[in-house]
Structure 1
Amino acid sequence: MSNYMLRSKILIILLFVYIAVVTLCPGCKSRKPNFENCPSIKKQPSISPDYTNTTLPPNIAPTNFIIKETASAYFVRISSEEGEDIDIHSRSADIRIPVKPWEKLLNRNRSKSLLITIFIRNKEGKWSRLAPIENFIAPEEIDSHLVYRLMKPLYQYWDKLGIYQRDLSGYDERPIVLNTAMGKNCVNCHSFHNYNPDRMIFHMRAGAVGTSMILAYDNETYKVDTSTSFNHATSYRSWHPNGQIIAFAFNTVKQIFHAVGKNLDVYDRASDLLLYNVKTNTITTSPKISTSERMETYPEWSPDGRYLYFCSSPALDIYDTDEHPLKKMRYDLMRISYDVQTDSWGEIEPVLLASKLGLSVAHPKLSPDGKYILFCMSEYTYFPLYMPDSDLYLLDTETLEFHKPEKINSDRAESYHCWSSNGRWVVFSSKRQDGLCTHPYFSYFDSNGSFSKPFLLPQKDPEYQQSRVIVYNIPEFVKGPVTIRPQRLIKTAWSEQIVKAKLDPKVGTKQGDQTEETPYKSTLPNAGP
């Protein structure tokens, strides 16, 4: 018998064996399950990150995930009412969804359900179908880009940190500016005018480039020294809708470290508000928002520009020096009217007297239509990032009624947040993953004033967030990419051409700025100085 005939017989035998296996167990031991005959398991599969029972934007990046079910192989079908299903076969539990088919499927099925059906194959080669995961595709898109600061969870010292932008329709993350190119200084408090990526500010602290503000405005860049005889360098900020005025806080910030329990607390020794005009380079204020009797922080303009909202607490002078006042410091939510044309201020109005409830307000953010304020509340101080009890609350600006939306809160700290430009999405920082690192979560806000279950920022590698010890700080939506090159911002940072802010002649030298430490006798357990 020739070798050719022998090979032919072997091939014929192997073919018959394959046909017999497929015939005896149709779909059960194949690479692909038989959808009609595959047995079902009633339980829903566990996946990580938890992209289940939530609402997704039609323009979000694929929500890649890890299947937390033991199997020898996995088959995933992603489907909706219209368009082609997305089928993924994998021997790994790591599921990567192709970008283009995902984009097409979500865009064709706005306001419809998105089903994720997972099949698992056991070691005997038999497939089983798990209960499908059902998500909802929102009709409204999310803003195209998210800007945030990335840094390690450090407190007083830093090495590498930067401000980054992320394309939310994919996985492209690019630096806007890196501190390693600016003498390893601190860069912080980035902000944009009306979600416009061409109008941006951020602050620089210490380092070789000095303390100043970088202003990028309609393709021009400036290095601005915002300190005057009235104020030192500015910090927390809010752009007026007209794009010409920025409200700032200027604070004297202190930290307290603990040897046991919660490791850190942050508080102000002094804090006031001012306005900076980017056109005239002038700083002005009113005694009503810069009084020595109270501390004001976290300014936030109403969408119509008629009111400035802020957080306010009594000055430290009211507290007994026999004990540290930290746990007594509680901030209320206030507002004051302002007329841009006449540069005139109204009277301060209380919006929420949280201190009477034994709580403290931080980060008030008004929805683009002005109907709601999303804010943080915790037991004390204005720095929710280090308060495990910090939760998000929603206030109706017409009735002043507020509540804690259970769906978006967790048993760990929720902190900085931002509304999307259409008012249908919020992004917020949360420590819910491990209690140490903050990560950005998104939630849909419907026309009835309800939030959907939050979902984590999608990554190409679904284990990316769990594998990095990193803090996402100050997530801000923008309507497009920041196009100004990092090299230009770095050149401006190193420039010796510094724009020095001018003080409005109507404003006198600030008195009573309490920058010296008061010798409190600490009653906090193991509190540092």
Structure 2
Amino acid sequence: MMRHRHFPWLPTFVLPLLILCAAFVQPVAAYPLFRSIDIQVPHDLTLKAWIDSFTPVQSPKPVLMLEPIDGALVPANAASPIIRWKDPANTVWLITVSIDGNTVCRGIMDATYWIPSQLLWERIRSSAGTTPISVTVFGVSESGSLSTKGQTSFSVSDDPVGTHIGFLRKRLPFRKAKDNPHDSQMAVGDLTSSGKPRIVLQDQPICFNCHAYSPDGKSYGMDMDYKGDKGGYALVDISKKVSITDNDIISWNDYKAPGPSKYSMGLFTTFSPDGRYAASTVGESSAFIMLDDLHFSQMFYPATGQIAYYDRTTGKVLPLKGADTLEAIQTNPAFSADGKRVTFARATVKPDLVADIETGKLRKEDPGQSILDANEKYPMQFDLYSVPFNDGLGGTAVPVDGASANGMSNFFPRYSPNGKWLVFTQCKTGLVLQPDSRLVIIPAEGGTPRILKANTDLMNSWHSWSSNSRWLVFSSKGNSPFTEIYLTHIDGNGESSPPLRLFRFSHTELAAMVPEFIPNNSIIQRTMVLADPEGAQGESMATDGR
């Protein structure tokens, strides 16, 4: 940082993080100036004069611009993005924001990132419209020369975004999350706000995991190990304050699992568009290895499984015909936008693998191995299949064109609310938490697959569509072992913009994961608690280490 030991002629005093220098009373050609709290201007100079005194060099060395990635899109109603770079050669940087070559603001920072204030971001956004916003970062040397330079450009989209996203936060590695359920959080983040996400649920004595909102915005569901039932599922009407009682818990174990599975966990539950039905994976035998690696701390996929649905009208759990064969693994259900079909991931059951699970072989695997080692020992590839829902009667399942028989594992299908697109996750093997997993888009009826430009270099998965079908939120480890949440724009042709990290949702010690757009017409949750936390505990029925 720029201190006396670097610039002895600079005085020491504390100023606000952002100082706007008479931005709105200067002549038309003037623009706001800002500086970090620890940057001090020489006694005899104004901030503008000091900035103007910096001298360019012929061939500045490059500054690595980290974000926003060139070409990224920011929603029309979103708070400011973070500008971040890497430049080990300097400790102070000059930032210039321009639109069509015209400077909008300039400032000096002593950290390798800058978050525009709300006031300044409004000025930038209104000045730009949809014109690209260019950000240039110069490294300022001890002598005042602009010795390094980097540049990126991003735009504000015409399309607004669903303002709120519900997501989970968990300890890593998985073993630590399992042993410390009190540290887990369910949070709601507001994309229009520059503040932190609201913590809705935390400090609970039982594990809670995957969650979902019904597309009609009226219902919310969450996996809960309620009273030791691994198939426990909290299913509530959405309100600002929720107190979960026994009456709010259904159990996927109401489905009598066929052997060899001893119980049902209800994996990857999803809702029909009208919220009447919830579909889930039941009758699972899990291929599960707990690993010590912070990035990838488990290998997991169901080695058996069927699709069942819960009817909120009748209160019954029933198998979905066409997705309940015992010779196949069926998981990751997703209703089509009109609710007429259910698409799911399917693979052939491997009897030898199931036998290894039953004998406890996988539980004895070395936790010090990598996910790649585990993948090599226990490979599994899924294809996407689709079956008519037919009011729960099911039908004949058929492979989805573009998401099956392609030498890859295809899973986590999600339909856009407008019924136009299907985005799914793809990797070489496995199901969740895979280093090479990427997001792929096809037409809703199937077709030529395209890899989204939004994918980062490391693990992309668990995606959710905004209500207007223009934005996709997803999880990735592209920036940190602690999973973070990213956003991308999907245009009318199914093309995606580069990933935009939702940095306000990130946590230095917890993985931010399982993001779900909250439907626009939904009440926004503020608090959720167990009515009887002590009574909600119980001895787990789990036999696979989960």
Residue 103 (str. 1) matches residue 111 (str. 2): no
Given that 2:303 and 2:354 are in contact with CA atoms closer than 8 Å, whether structure 1 keeps it comes out as no
- The match for 1:133 is 152
- Tell me the distance in 2 between the aligned counterparts of 1:132 and 1:269: 48
Q: How many residues are aligned here?
A: 461
- The match for 2:493 is 448
Residue 57 (str. 1) matches residue 75 (str. 2): yes
Counterpart amino acid of 1:438?
A: T
Query: Cα–Cα, structure 1 residues 195 and 493, in superposed 2: closer, same or farther, change >3 Å?
Result: farther
Q: Secondary structure at the match of 2:49?
A: coil
- The match for 1:337 is 388
Task: Kindly provide the CA deviation profile for residues 405-457 of structure 1, in whole angstroms up to 9, marking residues without a partner as x.
Answer: 3x3334422221112222222122112224x3321122222222211211211
Deviates more, 1:75-84 or 1:233-242: 75-84
- Offset, 1:230: 2.0
- Tell me the distance in 2 between the aligned counterparts of 1:353 and 1:447: 19
Q: 1:256 aligns with which of 284, 289, 296?
A: 289
Task: Kindly provide the CA deviation profile for residues 366-417 of structure 1, in whole angstroms up to 9, marking residues without a partner as x.
Answer: 122222221112222322x1x2222222222345221323x33344222211
Counterpart amino acid of 2:471?
A: W
Task: Kindly provide the CA deviation profile for residues 300-357 of structure 1, in whole angstroms up to 9, marking residues without a partner as x.
Answer: 00001111101111223387969999645321111111233xx432321111486643
- The match for 2:20 is none
Deviates more, 1:237-246 or 1:120-129: 120-129
Q: Secondary structure at the match of 1:437?
A: coil
- The match for 1:474 is 514
- Offset, 1:298: 0.4
- The match for 1:290 is 324
- Offset, 1:127: 5.3
Task: Kindly provide the CA deviation profile for residues 263-287 of structure 1, in whole angstroms up to 9, marking residues without a partner as x.
Answer: 6421323211111122332222234
- The match for 2:417 is 368
Residue 146 (str. 1) matches residue 165 (str. 2): yes
Residue 166 (str. 1) matches residue 198 (str. 2): no
- Offset, 1:126: 4.4
Q: Map 1:83-482 onto structure 2 (within 5 A).
A: 85-107=104-126, 109-126=128-145, 130=149, 132-156=151-175, 157-159=178-180, 160-169=183-192, 170-178=194-202, 180=203, 182-183=204-205, 185-194=206-215, 196=217, 198-205=218-225, 212-219=232-239, 222-226=247-251, 227-228=253-254, 230-231=256-257, 232-250=264-282, 251-257=284-290, 264-317=298-351, 327-340=378-391, 343-352=392-401, 356-383=405-432, 385=433, 387-398=434-445, 400-405=447-452, 407-434=453-480, 436-459=481-504, 468-479=508-519
Counterpart amino acid of 2:385?
A: M
Given that 1:58 and 1:103 are in contact with CA atoms closer than 8 Å, whether structure 2 keeps it comes out as no
Given that 1:51 and 1:63 are in contact with CA atoms closer than 8 Å, whether structure 2 keeps it comes out as no
Q: Secondary structure at the match of 2:248?
A: strand
CA RMSD of aligned residues (A): 3.9
Query: Cα–Cα, structure 1 residues 389 and 421, in superposed 2: closer, same or farther, change >3 Å?
Result: same
- The match for 2:19 is none
User: How does the TM-score come out when normalised to structure 1?
Assistant: 0.75
Given that 2:321 and 2:395 are in contact with CA atoms closer than 8 Å, whether structure 1 keeps it comes out as no
- Tell me the distance in 2 between the aligned counterparts of 1:119 and 1:326: 49
Given that 1:44 and 1:132 are in contact with CA atoms closer than 8 Å, whether structure 2 keeps it comes out as no
Residue 31 (str. 1) matches residue 65 (str. 2): no
Counterpart amino acid of 1:472?
A: A
Q: Secondary structure at the match of 1:101?
A: helix
Query: Cα–Cα, structure 1 residues 133 and 27, in superposed 2: closer, same or farther, change >3 Å?
Result: farther
Deviates more, 1:220-229 or 1:422-431: 220-229
Given that 1:312 and 1:331 are in contact with CA atoms closer than 8 Å, whether structure 2 keeps it comes out as yes
Given that 2:281 and 2:307 are in contact with CA atoms closer than 8 Å, whether structure 1 keeps it comes out as yes
Given that 1:148 and 1:472 are in contact with CA atoms closer than 8 Å, whether structure 2 keeps it comes out as yes
Task: Kindly provide the CA deviation profile for residues 101-149 of structure 1, in whole angstroms up to 9, marking residues without a partner as x.
Answer: 3135325633221122334433223457946432121110122112111
- Tell me the distance in 1 between the aligned counterparts of 2:222 and 2:354: 37
Q: Map 1:485-500 onto structure 2 (within 5 A).
A: 485-486=526-527, 488-491=528-531
Counterpart amino acid of 1:281?
A: G
- Largest Rg, 1 or 2: 1
Counterpart amino acid of 2:248?
A: K
Q: Secondary structure at the match of 1:422?
A: coil
Query: Cα–Cα, structure 1 residues 77 and 355, in superposed 2: closer, same or farther, change >3 Å?
Result: closer
Given that 1:332 and 1:352 are in contact with CA atoms closer than 8 Å, whether structure 2 keeps it comes out as no
- Offset, 1:241: 0.7
**For structure 2, which runs of at least 5 residues remain unmatched after alignment?**
1-40, 258-263, 363-375, 537-541
Given that 2:459 and 2:476 are in contact with CA atoms closer than 8 Å, whether structure 1 keeps it comes out as yes
- Tell me the distance in 1 between the aligned counterparts of 2:164 and 2:98: 26
Q: Secondary structure at the match of 2:124?
A: helix
- Tell me the distance in 1 between the aligned counterparts of 2:457 and 2:111: 32
Query: Cα–Cα, structure 1 residues 112 and 99, in superposed 2: closer, same or farther, change >3 Å?
Result: same
- Offset, 1:223: 2.1
- Offset, 1:164: 0.9
- The match for 1:19 is none
Q: Secondary structure at the match of 2:267?
A: coil
**For structure 1, which runs of at least 5 residues remain unmatched after alignment?**
1-21, 497-514, 518-527
Q: Secondary structure at the match of 1:381?
A: coil
Task: Kindly provide the CA deviation profile for residues 42-84 of structure 1, in whole angstroms up to 9, marking residues without a partner as x.
Answer: 7764344444332222222222334433446433233446999
Query: Cα–Cα, structure 1 residues 427 and 495, in superposed 2: closer, same or farther, change >3 Å?
Result: same
- Offset, 1:224: 1.4
Query: Cα–Cα, structure 1 residues 45 and 57, in superposed 2: closer, same or farther, change >3 Å?
Result: farther
- Tell me the distance in 2 between the aligned counterparts of 1:55 and 1:271: 39
Q: Secondary structure at the match of 1:453?
A: coil
Counterpart amino acid of 2:188?
A: Q
- Offset, 1:252: 3.1
- Tell me the distance in 2 between the aligned counterparts of 1:254 and 1:96: 43
Counterpart amino acid of 2:52?
A: P
Given that 2:267 and 2:332 are in contact with CA atoms closer than 8 Å, whether structure 1 keeps it comes out as no
Query: Cα–Cα, structure 1 residues 400 and 326, in superposed 2: closer, same or farther, change >3 Å?
Result: farther
- Tell me the distance in 2 between the aligned counterparts of 1:39 and 1:316: 64
Deviates more, 1:137-146 or 1:352-361: 352-361
- Tell me the distance in 2 between the aligned counterparts of 1:145 and 1:72: 36
Deviates more, 1:148-157 or 1:43-52: 43-52
Counterpart amino acid of 1:256?
A: I
